[in-house]
Amino acid sequence: MSAAISPVRTDIREPQSKHPSKAQSIVIDGMSKSFGDRRVLSDIDLAIPAGQFVAIVGRSGCGKSTLLRLIAGLDQATAGKIIVGDRTVESLQPSTRLLFQDARLLPWQRVIGNVGIARHDGWRKAAAVALEDVGLADRANDWPAVLSGGQRQRVALARALVSDPGVLLLDEPFGALDALTRGEMHRLLERIWQEHGFTTVLITHDVSEALRLADRVIVLRDQGVALDVQVELPRSRRDIGDAATMTLRSRILAEV
């Protein structure tokens, strides 16, 4: 059963933002998606307020990446519509950025060139600021090949930040990282989300990751939303072994 969607809690967010937020809401209205005869998503309704951090979990093949691609405008719904900000999504949205498990850097561009690639004017300055933001200012002139997996993901995050996104879509971005690096990336993403304020949709297999980062967790199952819960736990949630988190975790796992 889907729980009622309650308003975003603002008391668990940093009130001050360094950057003016262009965060956009996402509305999914009666959306279905089939590939040929195979129905993957059926009549999905979701409203994600601007600035919310949503995690989507579910078994392999339940349609998580498909949903993300539809929000991004990389694919078209079979029925229904998706509205980001005030625009119906028909193609890739200019203020939406995506991050994948693989950082997808251009090997023939230095780090600074990779970060500035999405921007035309003033790209070098903007890229330097974004690299500073992710703690990689000193690696600007390196080639991607000499970076670690975690550093590559930081570069990919900086590349997304350069265009001051309204929506950030993350498809298992930390899935290939070791536990320590993943923890560092969680802290970095949480800080950057709090400072920039963009709306975030994170796909993950990892319920602990979802509970560590998200305002709200959505479980996809049987072509639809099996569970939609608010995570009303104080931030930062570095220690997620407490009773409230464990209860929520069991509730989510029961629906996956």
Ligand X SMILES: Nc1ncnc2c1ncn2[C@@H]1O[C@H](COP(=O)(O)OP(=O)(O)OP(=O)(O)O)[C@@H](O)[C@H]1O
Q: Which residues bind ligand X (CB under 6 A)?
A: 35, 40, 58, 60-66
68 vs 127 by CB, closer to ligand X: 68
> CB of 40: closest distance to ligand X in angstroms?
4
CB of 81 to ligand X, least distance (A): 19
Rg of the chain taking only CA atoms, in angstroms:
18
Q: How far is the CB of 168 from ligand X (least distance, A)?
A: 17
- In the bound state with ligand X, the residue whose beta carbon lies nearer, of 82 and 161, is 82
CB 170 within 8 A of CB 200: yes
Q: At its nearest, how many Å lie between ligand X and the CB of residue 63?
A: 4
CB of 73 or CB of 116, closer to ligand X: 73
Q: Indicate the residue among 51 and 58 with the shorter CB distance to ligand X.
A: 58
Instruction: Please answer whether residues 211 and 238 qualify as being in contact, where contact means their C-beta atoms are separated by less than 8 angstroms.
Output: no
Please report which helix (H) or strand (E) contains residue 55, including its range. strand 53-57
* Those residues with Cβ within 8 angstroms of residue 51's Cβ, 6 or more apart along the chain or in another chain: 8, 13, 21, 23, 197, 198, 199
In degrees rounded to 5, what are phi and psi of residue 116? -85, 0
Laid out side by side, the sheet with 87-88 consists of: 38-48, 26-35, 79-84, 87-88
